[in-house]
Amino acid sequence: MQLSNDELKRYNRHIILQEIGKVGQEKLKSAKVLVAGCGGLGCPVLLYLAAAGIGNLGLVDFDTVSESNLQRQILYSAEDIGKSKVAVAKQKLEKQNPFINVNAYNLKLDKTNVLDLLNNYDIIVDGTDNFSSRYLLNDACVMLGKPLVSGSVFKFEGQVTVFNFQDGPTYRCLYPEPPAPGEMPSCNDIGVVGVIPGIIGLLQANEVIKIMIGAGEILSGKLLTIDALSMQFNLFSFETDSKNKTIETLKEYDELCGLNIKEITKDELQQMIERKVNFQLIDVREPDEYKEKNIGGELIPLKTLTDNIHRFSKDKTIIVHCRSGERSKKAIQILLQNGFQNVYNLKNGLQDF
């Protein structure tokens, strides 16, 4: 795929590198890369892949921008609050580099759509923040033979590796089984310093570029970790377990990761309201989201839920919701761990309202 004169000027600092050159830049232009998750990791990945000239970028996310995102999700600003992340990201990336194509998928990846979506791309970048999505992406990439560039963050720490590259180890070779529910708190629970997703995201983008141009040593079978407080980098090796290379079907990943949660539909909720059932309706979104749109639930943001556990009643049915139904699942896990049983997730959250 040939470069135009304007592209030759734009990518000059790449082209004069012996390891890239004009041929390498043309490979980047022809590349098709899907980034799953447009949050703390996805934002720096997307910004630098777009700037590098990756010709075809896919963005998949089902969330909207909230104020608490702005501390680290550098594609967004205050005027984007409440908007679809993929829609905002697509607009800004196309403005950043008019020579690339950006496809936005405002959806939740699951076993019914992941294979068809990933099959259209050369490399998959995992910028998700939950174990069910990571196992889903891994298994789909193994089935399709796609490399998976993985990153994760925790407080002041981060790690990056590449799975399934040239028949190398997979996510399951490093993490055979998901942790027990509640064993690994999320960034919503314990926080993350804003620069760590940036550092890890840039390392992920670097691995994508290396794979496409065929240069350097890929982090396949190697886990790079960083502790930003001590500025210690470590590189660990791990081996392929052959049994993880033969995946024939996708599973129910929420159940696999301990998220087998009871759900209630919009219609069922409305029937409960009409029958005047005595229940608690809890909204675990952020205050800015609640102000934008709400259905009268009691606002208890997910990050404050543990401190407000006393506000929940074990004598009532509790229905928890967010925008899409994902944050509310995390909230329900916390409630279940604290002895609450009659708890339901509002299926699809406010998306059906």
Full-model pTM: 0.78
Measure Cα distances from 267 to 273, 274, 281 in Å.
10, 11, 15
Can you say whether the dihedral through the CA atoms of 299, 332, 198, 208 is positive or negative? negative
Question: What pLDDT score was predicted for residue 263?
Answer: 84
Residue 322 a catalytic site member: yes
Q: How far apart are CA 351 and CA 266, in angstroms?
A: 10
DSSP H stretches of helix in 75-230: 85-96, 114-118, 131-144, 171-174, 187-190, 195-213
The CATH class of 263-352 is alpha beta
Q: What is residue 36's three-state secondary structure?
A: strand
H-run or E-run covering 231: none
Question: What pLDDT score was predicted for residue 55?
Answer: 97
The total of other beta-carbon atoms located within 10 Å of residue 129's CB is: 21
Q: How far apart are CA 88 and CA 16, in angstroms?
A: 33
As annotated, the residues of the chain forming the CATH 3.40.50.720 domain(s) are 31-256
As annotated, the residues of the chain forming the CATH 3.40.250.10 domain(s) are 263-352
Q: How far apart are CA 285 and CA 304, in angstroms?
A: 10
- Encoded amino acid at 138, one letter: N
Pick the CATH number of 31-256 from 3.40.1160.10, 3.40.50.720, 3.40.350.10, 3.90.1170.50: 3.40.50.720
- Encoded amino acid at 133, one letter: S
H-run or E-run covering 333: helix 327-337
Residue 187 a catalytic site member: yes
Residue from 139, 214, 205, 212 nearest 178 by CA: 139
Residue from 267, 284, 229 nearest 352 by CA: 267
Catalytic hit among 38, 43, 173, 187: 187
**Structural contact between residues 60 and 107, judged by C-beta atoms closer than 8 angstroms:** yes
123-126 and 56-60 beta bridge pairing = unpaired
Residue-wise pLDDT tens for the chain (353 aa)? Answer: 899 999 999 999 999 999 999 999 999 999 999 999 999 999 999 999 999 999 999 999 988 888 888 999 999 999 998 889 999 999 999 999 999 999 999 998 889 999 999 999 999 999 998 888 899 999 999 999 999 999 999 999 999 999 999 999 999 999 987 765 555 555 655 678 999 999 999 999 999 999 999 999 999 999 999 999 999 999 999 999 999 998 988 887 665 555 567 788 888 888 888 888 889 999 999 999 999 899 999 999 998 998 999 999 888 899 999 988 878 888 888 888 788 878 888 988 887 78
Question: What pLDDT score was predicted for residue 329?
Answer: 84
Question: What pLDDT score was predicted for residue 181?
Answer: 52
- Encoded amino acid at 68, one letter: S
298-299 and 263-264 beta bridge pairing = unpaired
Can you say whether the dihedral through the CA atoms of 270, 273, 279, 282 is positive or negative? positive
**Structural contact between residues 227 and 195, judged by C-beta atoms closer than 8 angstroms:** no
Question: What pLDDT score was predicted for residue 323?
Answer: 87
Q: How far apart are CA 119 and CA 285, in angstroms?
A: 33
